Amino acid sequence: MASISSNNNKASTEQQDNDEQEVFYFAHQPTLEPVTSRLSHISNLTDVSTQKDEESILEDEKTTRRLSAVSDISNASTVHELEFTPEQESDSYGWFIVLAAFLSQVVGLGVMQDYYEQHVYGQESATVIKLSLVGTLGNFALNVFSPFVQILVSTIGIRSSVLLATILSVAGLELSSFTSEVWQLQLTQGILFGGGGSIIFYIGMSSVQQWFSHKKSGIALGISTSGSCFGGLIMPLIITPINRRFGISTCFRILGGITCILYLLSGFLFKDKTTTPSHKKASDEEAGSSSAAAAAAKDVDIKPVETTEKLSLKKTLLSPFKVIQFDVLKDVNFILWCLADIVIELSYYTPLFFLPSYATSLGLKDTKGSSLISITASCNAIGRIFAGMIADRIGHINTVIITGFLAGCSAFLIWTFAYNFVSLVFFAAIFGFFGGAFVTLGPSTTAIITGMDRFKSGYSLFLLVTMVAMFGPNLAGALEAYFTTHYNQEPYLTYKLFTGVGYILGVLVMVVLKWRIHRGRLFSKL
């Protein structure tokens, strides 16, 4: 027992010594914890440094991409040429949109004024001026209502807007059949019919531009805008016999029926590009990604941004400025384009108004004077399609410059010296062929300047700003009266010079516009 106790005491003493040695060992290691702390701190610094290096690399990559994008833009033809093509390439259905736009522009009522002057109200100067305001108010409505049409389409959609256009235009024609005063015609045929035409014109031109890429938009717009020229050829063949046999009231009612059919057919064909079946899958994927982003935003208590194409009627009425991007009016290039179009368009209408009367002043029959307008319209239709084809090859702005220059030269070099029917026919053909190209390429040129993201607002504001150009014949008439009275100038010479000067000035503004966009490269494609 004593031996066992002795051994236990010895083991206990040894264990105590070992414990004291461990305590002594750990108590005399003061540098381990600081070293570990330093190592941890160095590791953290390394991680932070690595993270900063990664962020710096990412920032460098972003900077490189920005510089590359700037380089691409500087080397491109125009700032918006890189993004001119719509997001979705055009498909075969786009040609049905072209057909719809063509049909919607066929109905024209210019020949009605001549019938009113000869058979209803007479040809006194005051009456003629009042009747001319009917067509002027129609063109005025076509342009001035464009921003409101943009709001309307974004609110109720394309087809509902076309239905409203049909109701307004048909009502205007039907009510015109009951008029007995000129001011009533100004309200019905002018404002009401013109308001409906404004809706369907804006929808047609903007839809064609959105459905076609840059390489095809020229020919598509050429075919679409030739509808008005085609209408100028066939509508007199329909209206004149009806007026003679049944009277003007019946003629208005028949025209209302024709307008209803053409507009409804156009409305059936018009379709928003984003709703086509071929792009449904892409839309679904975008919707899925938007839902995922919204869910992620909800987890971090951030409200996702709501993006909808159509605005509610209440929000649109209360805040229409959110629909129209007025910042395009601050773009100097856009202002130059509007100025060029105004100057050219002031001159464009002058021969169309005064060429028949000039022919009769030379002793020609009134039928020959009317035939000059038919020749101009037919060549205008062909010329618009041709201008669209050429624009797809050499550039849209280049085509406006070239055709405008040739139209101005035709006024200076042909009309100025035209004193017989043959020379007048030659002028009507040349001017008609080249003179209307700027109308055809208006939407595409606007899109080049504004970009497709601001095209709808740009085009509606473009139509609004350029509405002053419809008073070109009035301005030319005032100048003609002044110079013939005070300077005994040759009759109609003012009209000839006014047409030529307007086109040449417009071309010069277009050259300045191209200089600004292409930074001095005047012979490049644009």
Tell whether the model's pLDDT for residue 515 goes beyond 50. Answer: yes
Calculate mean pLDDT across residues 158-169: 93
- Give the residue from 233, 255, 272 where a domain finishes: 272
382 and 460 belong to one structural domain: yes
Q: Are 211 and 160 in contact (CB under 8 A)?
A: no
More confident residue, 178 or 235: 178
Most confident of the following: 279-293, 356-370, 388-402, 470-484: 388-402
Q: Which of 395, 389, 378 is nearest to 430 (CA)?
A: 378
pLDDT in tens, 304-333: 434 444 555 555 555 666 788 888 999 999
Radius of gyration of the chain (CA): 36
Q: Considering the chain, what is the average pLDDT of its residues?
A: 77
Q: Report if residue 360 sits inside a domain.
A: yes
Residue 39 pLDDT greater than 80, yes or no: no
CATH for 171: 1.20.1250.20
What is the domain count for the chain? 2
Q: Are residues 357 and 486 in the same domain?
A: yes
pLDDT at 140: 86
In this structure, the answer to whether residues 262 and 333 fall within a common structural domain is no
Same domain, 95 and 165: yes
Question: Pick the residue with more confidence: 419 or 356?
Answer: 419
- pLDDT value at residue 521: 76
Which whole number is the average pLDDT over 347-364?
87
Q: Are 212 and 157 in contact (CB under 8 A)?
A: no
Query: pLDDT band at residue 237, thresholds of 50, 70 and 90?
Result: confident
Residues 235 and 342 reside in one and the same domain: no
Cα 281 from chain centroid? Answer: 27
Residue 319 lies inside a defined structural domain of this protein: no
- pLDDT for res 82: 34
Say how far apart CA 189 and CA 169 lie, in whole Å.
Answer: 8
pLDDT for the residue 118: 63
pLDDT band at 478, cuts 50/70/90? confident
**pLDDT-based confidence at residue 398 (cuts at 50, 70, 90):** very high
Per-residue pLDDT at 233 exceeds 90 = no
Domain co-membership, 100 together with 210: yes
Residue 98 lies in a domain: yes
Query: What per-residue confidence (pLDDT) applies to 474?
Result: 82
DSSP state of 343: H
Domain contains 12: no
* Residue 518 neighbours by CB distance under 10 Å: 20
Residues 242 and 367 in one domain: no
**Domain containing residue 116:** 91-272
CA distances from 195 to 187, 200, 216, 372, 436 (A): 10, 9, 30, 29, 23
Average pLDDT, integer, range 102-121: 70
Q: Give the percent of the chain with pLDDT over 90.
A: 34
Q: Render the burial of 467-479: b for 16+ CB within 10 Å, e for the rest.
A: bebbbbbbebbee
Say yes or no to pLDDT of 125 above 50.
yes
- Whether residue 15 lies inside any domain: the answer is no
Q: How confident is the model at residue 211 (pLDDT cuts 50, 70, 90)?
A: confident
Residues 109, 234 within the same domain: yes
Q: Is the pLDDT of residue 278 over 90?
A: no
In a domain, 36, yes or no: no
pLDDT at residue 265, rounded to an integer: 94
> What is the per-residue pLDDT across 46-68, written as a single tens digit (0 to 9) for each?
454 455 455 555 555 555 554 44
**Within-domain flag for 37:** no
pLDDT score of 311: 53
Is residue 483 pLDDT above 50, yes or no? Answer: yes
DSSP letter for each residue of 337-364 = HHHHHHHHHHHHHHHHHHHHHHHHHTT-
Separation CA 260–CA 351 (nearest Å): 31
| Same domain membership, residue 506 and residue 368 | yes
Is 268 in the same domain as 328? Answer: no
The reply to whether 244 and 346 lie within a common domain is: no
- Quick one: 263 and 120 in the same domain? yes
User: Do the domain assignments include residue 35?
Assistant: no
pLDDT tens per residue, range 12-38: 445 445 444 444 444 444 444 444 444
Q: Give percent of the chain above pLDDT 70.
A: 69
CB 453 within 8 A of CB 83: yes
